[in-house]
Amino acid sequence: MPQSEEPKAAGVATALKTDLSTASWPKEGTVIEATLIKKFPRKAYFDMGRFGTGIVYGAEILNAREAMRNLKPGDALQAKIVMLDGEEGLIELSLSEAGKQKLWALVKELTESGEVIKAKIVAANAGGLMTTVAGELKAFLPVSQLSLEHYPKVPDGDRTRIAEELKKFVGEELSVKIIDANPRTNKVIVSEREVLSANVKELLSAYTAGQVVDCMVSGVADFGVFVRFTDNPQIEGMIHISELDYKLIDSPKELVKINDQIKAKIIDIKEGRVFLSLKALKEDPWTKLSPEIKSGAMVQGKVYKFNPFGAVVALDGDLQGMVHISEFGGQEEMKKALAVGQTYPFVIDQVKNEEKRITLKMQK
């Protein structure tokens, strides 16, 4: 080509590129429909109608191999414009990027609509479950977003045991809702709890705080007890360890076991969750405090447990007292003087009714 024609050719290319970039033409990043003209092992040509011919080549051929495998001339699909002036002066296309963009558009729609979808569980760790949604998109289901039925009821919150419990779901499908999606970080968070909440909220509308209900113990954890309503097994509530009894207990297993039939009082209903109490149905031992429980009185008490502050002692009438660590000088000295499960004579040092606290001293 003569030198005088080079600027002219460059000007045409520049003008074409500028024209393609105007509002009436697709821009880089636009997803449009393209029809396969012909494909080769390392590239493929597509008809883009009035926008001309597009090309897919190089690494993109490998990225889009699944989409290209069964594609025949005349077949149409979605393609994303990567470059307006690409290989051979044609519009460079990406099939895989178009698929991702279309997928994220679907994710946005599902997030906004709150539609229930299936999540395939592919892996698990102590934090939750790795899943795939909408066919191929990776998503995470945090353990906190599991339904109470599937929540790992592991004593002491042992992370290793939680992970083992969650591995049982690998290969299964759970019904979930997308609650957060960020295409920039490529993160999708899903929730099983949200799927059940609407139905459970409707069922819970028939109950009010203060109501006493019949329940069956469905799970026991270190922090409390899970129960199902006898008349509505879909409703599962929780009784925190602090609501099991007026006295301090080490483990809920001291009071209940799985499948026990119990009565519990509803103390709160919030966001599709129901919280109950066992101790609300028991008489508070401080309301019938014996006149003999007073400062200076001698009492017999059984050592219930040790803690960093001293020894918790069980007294008559479901009361508990505390012998402070300072009575002994340290943990080792305390454990030499007392043994868990053994009964000893003590002297009541203080009775604080407002704090519901009794402090004891060793009898000299």
Residues facing 322 on adjacent strands: 312, 359
Fold of 114-197: OB fold (Dihydrolipoamide Acetyltransferase, E2P) (2.40.50)
Fold of 289-362: OB fold (Dihydrolipoamide Acetyltransferase, E2P) (2.40.50)
Top pLDDT among 85 and 207 is at: 207
Residues facing 274 on adjacent strands: 269
Q: What percent of the chain has pLDDT over 90?
A: 19
pLDDT tens track for 197-232: 667 778 888 999 999 999 999 888 888 898 989 998
C-alpha to C-alpha distances, 83 to 86, 94, 134, 165, 323, nearest whole angstrom: 6, 9, 28, 49, 78
The whole-number average pLDDT for the span 69-98 is 77
Domain with CATH 2.40.50.140 in the chain: 32-96, 114-197, 206-281, 289-362
Top pLDDT among 86 and 211 is at: 211
The whole-number average pLDDT for the span 33-44 is 83
**Mode of pairing for the β-strands spanning 320-324 and 357-362:** parallel
Res 5: pLDDT = 45
User: Is residue 80 within 8 Å of 94, Cβ to Cβ?
Assistant: yes
Q: Tell me the two tokens of residue 124.
A: 């698990």
127 has pLDDT over 70: yes
Res 185: pLDDT = 73
pLDDT tens track for 314-329: 988 788 899 999 988 8
pLDDT tens track for 8-28: 444 444 555 555 444 466 777
In terms of C-beta density within 10 A (0-12 exposed, 13-18 middle, 19 or more buried), how is residue 40 classed? Answer: exposed
DSSP 33: E
Q: Tell me the two tokens of residue 56.
A: 């897919």
Task: Answer whether CATH 2.40.50.140 is correct for domain 32-96.
Answer: yes
pLDDT band (50, 70, 90) for residue 276: very high
Q: How many DSSP H helices and E strands does the chain contain? A: 7, 20
C-alpha torsion sign, points 116, 117, 121, 127: negative
Res 150: pLDDT = 83
pLDDT band (50, 70, 90) for residue 101: low
Residue 282 contacts by C-beta under 8 Å, 6 or more apart in sequence?
245, 246
pLDDT tens track for 243-265: 999 888 888 988 999 889 999 99
156 has pLDDT over 70: no
Res 2: pLDDT = 47
- Of 140-144, 151-155, 191-195, the range with the lowest mean pLDDT is 151-155
Residue with token string 């909440």: 197
What integer best gives the mean pLDDT of the chain? 81
Nearest to 44 by CA among 19, 75, 21, 13: 75
Res 18: pLDDT = 53
What is d(CA 100, CA 118) in angstroms, rounded to the nearest whole number? 19
User: Is residue 267 within 8 Å of 300, Cβ to Cβ?
Assistant: no
42 has pLDDT over 90: no
Res 21: pLDDT = 47
Residue 300, classed as helix, strand or coil, is strand
Res 279: pLDDT = 92
User: Is residue 68 within 8 Å of 95, Cβ to Cβ?
Assistant: yes
pLDDT band (50, 70, 90) for residue 343: very high
Res 23: pLDDT = 43
CATH architecture of the domain covering 206-281: Beta Barrel (2.40)
For residue 309, the tally of other CB atoms under 10 A from its CB is: 11
